[in-house]
Amino acid sequence: MNPDGFLADVLDEPATLAHVLAQTDQADAPLADLAARIGRARLVVLIGMGSSRFAALTAAAHLRARGIAAVVEYASTDLPTVPAPDVLAVGISATGNSAETVAALARHHGTSATAAITNHAQGGKLGAVADLVVPLHAGVEAGGVACKSFQATLAVLLRASGIPTSALAPAAEAQATLIESRRTWLDPVLDLFADAPTVYAIAPASRISSALQSALMLREGPRIPADAAETGDWSHVDVYLTKHPNYRALLFGGSPWDGEALEWLRQREACSAAPSPALPSTSPTPTPRTRSSPPWSTSPSPSSPPRRGGAGASTPTPCPRAATAARVPEDASGGICSPEVDRRAARRSGSSCRSGSARR
């Protein structure tokens, strides 16, 4: 990835999001056709890899909440959905040329209804095996990383899922505010994560794309180990890792299980940063979100013993000073996507993320 290009891409995200949403409202936009096809299908299969699949997870949840059967598949799956005339297969690829996604959609083409969502101006190879091509209008990504295109994919999918532009448009302004105010929160967040061997992004199911994309950006940019989990599931699959010293988590609020996750983090003396919506106080039972706390909250855990087996690990580094920041918008903002965090964290970790590097 190209760090300088990535910086330019992130700074351009608010304007790009506003442009993408404006394009979806055009009378002749293919998005309306896609939405109609979704409504007619017995089953909607969203197919992609990487950040394309992340965005699809959020959209599929919204479709299911409307009573529409929708699933998300890895384009590389060895157990794909069987093509059928009443199935709508939607291939998602920013480049329009992801080999796995092209092959997966080609398997459906001619039997299932097919659509392609891509940032490729001519649709790419994916468009060649689709009945309908929906452009992202995300523009060129100078950083070589799916940043603006991830945000655009999420916005287009949410619009196709029935969410109006008026509900998504405020994210562009909120994102601009977040970027402009980064000097007030960037250093505290870097301090918080400086000693973390791994950064864990945690989000409710409705916003899981934010956690997954955040972890990917940390891996793909500064090459920092990072992973993601759904908030409720975290207490069943990742809580055990809080036994390690210097456990650090980035929590996206809004889950009824925020309180339980925070309780475990504090019992295990772990540190966390929480983008808005603000998180509730700790509680062993689900608690509603509150908005009385600062948009970013970081705190060391009290020394109360953990309830799940075993003695505590060695004493972690105390949490640095509390971090404050502007409210982070909902998923359409692209989650946490700050190039300055990536570039400066790369220097701290010794990562060689030089301009134009294509190493993985």
Residue 245: band (very low, low, confident or very high) from pLDDT cuts 50, 70, 90: confident
| List of domains in the chain | 3-168 (3.40.50.10490), 170-348 (3.40.50.10490)
Q: What pairing do the DSSP bridges indicate for beta strands 226-230 and 199-203?
A: parallel
Q: Is the pLDDT reported for residue 337 higher than 50?
A: no
Ramachandran assignment for 110, one of left (phi > 0), alpha (psi -120 to 50 degrees), beta (any other):
left
CB atoms near residue 299 (< 10 Å): 15
Task: Give yes or no for a contact between 333 and 151, defined as CB atoms under 8 angstroms apart.
Answer: yes
- As a whole number, mean pLDDT of residues 69-87 equals 98
**Residue-level pLDDT at 1:** 85
Placement of tokens 């007030």 in the chain: 184
Q: For residue range 200-209, what is the model confidence (pLDDT) as tens digits?
A: 999 999 999 9
Residues 6+ apart with CB under 8 A from 164: none
Q: Would you state the pLDDT for residue 280?
A: 54
pLDDT per residue over 276-301, tens digit each? Answer: 555 554 333 333 333 233 333 333 33
Q: Name the percent of the chain lying above pLDDT 70.
A: 76
Of 29-43, 172-186, 302-316, 339-353, which range is least confident? 302-316
Backbone angles phi, psi at 134, to 5 degrees: -110, 110
Tell me the average pLDDT across 300-328: 35
Residue 276 is predicted with a pLDDT of: 54
Torsion of CA 77, 79, 80, 84, to 10 degrees: 170
Strand ranges for the chain from DSSP E = 43-48, 70-74, 87-93, 113-118, 132-135, 199-203, 226-230, 248-251, 271-273
Going by pLDDT thresholds of 50, 70 and 90, the confidence category of residue 356 is very low
Q: Answer whether residue 21 shows pLDDT above 90.
A: yes
CA distance 186 to 197: 19
Mean pLDDT of the chain: 81
The pTM assigned to this predicted structure is 0.80
Express each pLDDT in 85-111 by its tens digit: 999 999 999 999 999 999 999 999 999
Distance in angstroms (rounded) separating the CA atoms of residues 61 and 79: 21
Residues 6+ positions from 109 with CB-CB distance below 8 Å? 129, 130, 131
User: Residue 274: its pLDDT value, please?
Assistant: 75
Work out the end-to-end distance of the chain between its first and last CA atoms, rounded to an integer number of angstroms: 9
CB atoms within 10 A of CB 62: 17
Q: Quote the pLDDT of residue 328.
A: 36
CA 136 to chain centre: 17
202 contacts 228 by C-beta, under 8 angstroms: yes
Please tell me whether the peptide bond between 3 and the residue prior to it is cis, using omega within 30 degrees of 0: no
